[in-house]
Structure 1
Amino acid sequence: MIPTPEHNERMAKMTFASVYPHYVTKVERKGRTKEELHEVIKWLTGFDDVKIQALIDEKVTFEVFFAQAKLHPKAELITGTICGYKIQEIDNPLTKQVRYLDKLVDELAKGKKMEKILR
């Protein structure tokens, strides 16, 4: 499935603060920790705990979130399907970055070892 322009716009305008609690719930429900979630977010974006909390408090959109991020050089190694979309086929850079994060959270919740998640 290829994301539509409307889908890409919706992803850009969605706030990180609105999705973050779902990430926490998802990983904790599967026996992982908030600290592990932060480790994954740090790896992908370069943000520390203080910056993550500031972005939540500021209710930034994913557009702003990823504009401030320094994406890990190995992020492009994140492949597979998330929410029906093959990551490697997404041509919108922002939508792809959001799906990278979704995929990492999914892998964490599925019990993958951190060394594998962080490529």
Structure 2
Amino acid sequence: MKTTPEHNERIAKMKFASVYPHYITKIEKKGRTKEELYQVIEWLTGFDDKKIQELIDEEVTFETFFNKAKLNPNAHLIKGVICGYRIEEIENQLTKQTRYLDKLIDELARGKKMEKILRTE
């Protein structure tokens, strides 16, 4: 499935703070911890838990969130389908980065081992 300009715009304008509680609910429901969620977000973006909380408090959009991030050099190893989109085929960088985060959180919730989630090669 190909993303549309409207879809990409909607993601760019969405506030990270509005989605973050859903991430917590999703992973905790499956027995994972907030610390593991922080570890996954930090691996992808370089943000520690203090910085994540700052960005939530500032109510930044996903566009600002990823503009401030220092994306992990191995992020391109995140592949597969999330929300009906094949990550490797997403052309819009911001949408791709957001789907990277969605995919990592999905893997965490599904009980995948942390070593596999935090791709090294």
TM superposition score normalised by structure 1: 1.00
Superposition pairs of residues 1-119 of structure 1, within 5 angstroms:
1-119=1-119
Deviation at 1:80, TM superposition (A): 0.2
Distance of 2:49 and 2:19 partners within structure 1: 16
Deviation at 1:25, TM superposition (A): 0.2
Gaps of 5+ in 1: none
TM superposition score normalised by structure 2: 0.98
Deviation at 1:105, TM superposition (A): 0.1
Distance of 1:109 and 1:50 partners within structure 2: 22
Distance of 1:71 and 1:105 partners within structure 2: 16
Gaps of 5+ in 2: none
Cα deviation digits, residues 38-85 of structure 1 (max 9, x gap): 000000000011100000000000000000000000000000000000
Instruction: Tell me the SS of whatever aligns to 1:105.
Output: helix
Q: Residue type matched to 2:30 in 1? A: K
Runs of 4+ in 1 over 4 A off after TM superposition: none
State the Cα RMSD in Å. Answer: 0.3
